[in-house]
């Protein structure tokens, strides 16, 4: 079952905040920074399964397969994304969502032709 990207936004926010709370500088976490975290997929830009993550004015594209960065940067939070992708079931869910996004993208292309 493909999930909405909003679900992933919330999961990433929670994961990053949880990871930072475990560190020695938990008093300096800026929780509001993640209120504008956005996630999207753009199959028309790149056919490799990927996920775009935007925090503020920074954004990066990550391969779902291994968590490597295709392009961009989200600064110090970038190190958390591969860790989040390694959580049980995340990659599988993202791949289902990717397949659904590809289908929608393909159907839109067919309408334009």
- Tens digit of pLDDT for each residue in 14-42? 999 888 876 566 666 777 888 889 999 98
Q: Which of 6-15, 29-38, 44-53, 58-67 has the lowest mean pLDDT?
A: 29-38
For residue 113, the model assigns a pLDDT of 52
pLDDT tens by residue, 68-111:
999 999 999 999 999 999 999 999 999 999 998 887 655 555 56
Instruction: Give dist(CA 3, CA 41) in Å, integer.
Output: 12
pTM of the model: 0.82
Instruction: Give dist(CA 13, CA 17) in Å, integer.
Output: 6
Instruction: Give dist(CA 110, CA 88) in Å, integer.
Output: 35
Yes or no: say if 5 and 39 are a contact pair by the CB < 8 Å rule.
yes
């Amino acid at each position: 079952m493909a999930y909405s990207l909003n679900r992933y936004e919330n999961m990433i926010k929670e994961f990053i905040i949880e990871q930072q709370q475990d560190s020695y500088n938990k008093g300096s976490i800026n929780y509001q920074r993640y209120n504008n975290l956005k996630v999207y997929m753009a199959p028309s830009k790149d056919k490799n399964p990927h996920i775009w993550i935007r925090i503020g004015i920074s954004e990066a594209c990550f391969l779902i397969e291994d968590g490597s960065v295709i392009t961009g940067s989200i600064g110090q939070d970038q190190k958390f994304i591969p860790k989040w992708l390694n959580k049980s079931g995340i990659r599988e869910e993202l791949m289902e969502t990717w397949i659904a996004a590809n289908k929608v993208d393909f159907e839109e292309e067919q309408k334009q032709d």
